[in-house]
A = this chain, B = another copy of it.
Amino acid sequence: MERPRHQGMAKNTYMRWRLPLVCLLWEVAMIVLFGVFVRFSPEADAHWEEEKREMNLTSDMENDFYFRYPSFQDVHVMIFVGFGFLMTFLKRYGFGAVGFNFLLAAFGIQWALLMQGWFHSFKDGKILIGVENLINADFCVGSVCIAFGAILGKTSPVQLLVMTLFQVTLFSVNEYILLNLLHVKDAGGSMTIHTFGAYFGLTVTRILYRPNLEQSKDKQGSVYHSDLFAMIGTLYLWMYWPSFNSAISEHGDAQHRSAINTYCSLAACVLTTMAFSSMLQKKGKLDMVHIQNATLAGGVAVGTSAEMMLTPYGSLIVGSISGIVSTVGYVYFTPFLESRLHIQDTCGIHNLHAMPGLIGGIVGAITAAAATEDVYGKEGFIKAFDFTGVYQTRTPGVQGGFQAAGIVVSLLMAFAGGAIVGGILKLPIWGDAAAENCFEDEVYWEVPEDEESDVYHMHNPDKPASP
């Protein structure tokens, strides 16, 4: 097979010492820090029998494990299969999509257990972890998976591990500001996960702008079966999103309500996505990119408000709008962002996470501001917004204002953090590939000789390279 000479082949993508070094360094650090800081929460500790007696619990069922473990497992599937397979749509980057997502998430959850633990579960010098910490760690890593979507195919695994280290840290700081200082509600993470993660990723990809990326244009598309693999990711994200938005809500009605609102929003989102996908194309045919992504915007857009009394019809409205916004984004905004703003957004996270995340933050602020004791009941009202202690006198209007402030803080953290981290990732030491080798598994993976096609043979040493 004759191929034009790759003029940029000079880039050194050799991973043999870099990747092991970073992996092992990171892991040793985790072991040391876990050894110093991390212990079991009382509900996971063998002293639980005594704890139960002290707390007057009559049944093991009262252990938080049984309230949250099924949702945790659903969230876990979303992070590893959902995000991992969603990104396999590229014809030659399936290993990188699912494999690097696996790597960064596996590291990220460890680091997130520590970072979030210091902020939220620190007691007598120890971080006490239980199932809710596992969910929160997965959530935190979700924001890294989102950012990964923007730079998919253009970064080395070492860059991803470095980015994960910094992004998890910044995520935790931002989350602390929102939840603890601003006393904002955001159980499904419209702001903390989606808005922050997406604008962080978009800033990073802007900094890492590659002017010659059209050299790998032939690899930026999908093939028939890669689109089906991606649909596995889409569907698992779509189906389990009710678990995502309800996983860390209060026990009882709040978890129940979050799941229902999310279910409704997502259902509506599918219809408007299909409508606009067909409408916006001359031939009226559906585009798999939209179906794979924009159908999920409804889950993002109720991330803040799902546990509030958004109501099922409110959810349908939010879901419908976010499906439209997201699909329109894929058709019009993504090309604009790339050509004018030099933001190369591989998976279109601007459409799936950034804009719907903003919608989610705004809907949350409005829903909070509109809350009344009549709708929530006296006790329900206090419980829903945790208007206790120093927040006893906060009104819904003020809460709405703080919710809005949470959006702004998340955006600022994302832009500033993304710029700094993008700068670090731009250093020429991390082993990223040249523009013409982007979106190509061959660079970092042993790729099997494929009898069905010769696309993976381009670096095959048995075949003479072009002169």
Interface residues of A (CB under 8 A from B): 14-17, 19-20, 23-24, 26-27, 30-31, 34-35, 38-40, 43-50, 52, 59-67, 69-71, 73-74, 76-77, 80-81, 84-85, 88, 91, 94-95, 98-99, 102-103, 106-107, 109-110, 113, 129-131, 134, 157, 221-225, 227-229, 231-232, 235-236, 238-240, 242-243, 251-257, 259-260, 263-264, 266-272, 274-276, 278-279, 281-288, 291, 295, 309, 311-313, 316-317, 320, 375-377, 379-381, 383-384, 444-453, 455-456
Determine the distance from Cα of A49 to Cα of B450 in the docked complex, in whole angstroms: 61
**CB proximity of A98 to chain B, nearest CB, Å:** 5
A446 touching B380 in the complex, CB below 8 Å, given contacts A81-B235, A110-B267: no
B110 lies within 8 A of A63 (CB): no
A283 lies within 8 A of B377 (CB): no
A65 touching B256 in the complex, CB below 8 Å, given contacts A27-B316, A274-B103, A449-B221: yes
A271 lies within 8 A of B24 (CB): yes
B259 lies within 8 A of A69 (CB): yes
Cβ contacts under 8 Å, A287 to chain B: 445-446
Look across to chain B and name the residue whose beta carbon is closest to the beta carbon of A14: B284
Look across to chain B and name the residue whose beta carbon is closest to the beta carbon of A279: B20
Determine the distance from Cα of A224 to Cα of B440 in the docked complex, in whole angstroms: 12
Determine the distance from Cα of A375 to Cα of B312 in the docked complex, in whole angstroms: 43
Look across to chain B and name the residue whose beta carbon is closest to the beta carbon of A88: B228
B312 lies within 8 A of A46 (CB): no
B316 lies within 8 A of A376 (CB): no
Determine the distance from Cα of A75 to Cα of B455 in the docked complex, in whole angstroms: 38
Determine the distance from Cα of A256 to Cα of B70 in the docked complex, in whole angstroms: 12
B260 lies within 8 A of A44 (CB): yes
**CB proximity of A452 to chain B, nearest CB, Å:** 5
**Partner pick for A271 among B85, B106, B257, B278, CB 8 A cutoff:** B106
Look across to chain B and name the residue whose beta carbon is closest to the beta carbon of A30: B316
Cβ contacts under 8 Å, A17 to chain B: 279, 284
Look across to chain B and name the residue whose beta carbon is closest to the beta carbon of A13: B284
B106 lies within 8 A of A266 (CB): yes
A228 lies within 8 A of B229 (CB): yes
Determine the distance from Cα of A243 to Cα of B85 in the docked complex, in whole angstroms: 22
B451 lies within 8 A of A134 (CB): no
Look across to chain B and name the residue whose beta carbon is closest to the beta carbon of A252: B60
B320 lies within 8 A of A272 (CB): no
A383 lies within 8 A of B49 (CB): yes
**Partner pick for A102 among B60, B291, B448, CB 8 A cutoff:** B291
B268 lies within 8 A of A80 (CB): no
B229 lies within 8 A of A102 (CB): no
Cβ contacts under 8 Å, A267 to chain B: 106-107, 109-110
Determine the distance from Cα of A44 to Cα of B256 in the docked complex, in whole angstroms: 5
Determine the distance from Cα of A50 to Cα of B86 in the docked complex, in whole angstroms: 43
**CB proximity of A388 to chain B, nearest CB, Å:** 14
A260 touching B134 in the complex, CB below 8 Å, given contacts A232-B81, A271-B23, A317-B31: yes
Determine the distance from Cα of A380 to Cα of B50 in the docked complex, in whole angstroms: 8
B284 lies within 8 A of A16 (CB): yes
**Partner pick for A20 among B269, B278, B309, CB 8 A cutoff:** B278
B448 lies within 8 A of A80 (CB): no
Determine the distance from Cα of A267 to Cα of B112 in the docked complex, in whole angstroms: 12
> 8 closest Cβ contacts across the A-B interface?
A16-B284, A46-B380, A48-B253, A106-B270, A34-B313, A23-B275, A60-B252, A60-B251
Cβ contacts under 8 Å, A317 to chain B: 31
Cβ contacts under 8 Å, A222 to chain B: 448
**Partner pick for A257 among B46, B252, B281, B376, CB 8 A cutoff:** B46
A268 touching B445 in the complex, CB below 8 Å, given contacts A279-B20, A377-B46: no
Cβ contacts under 8 Å, A60 to chain B: 67, 251-252
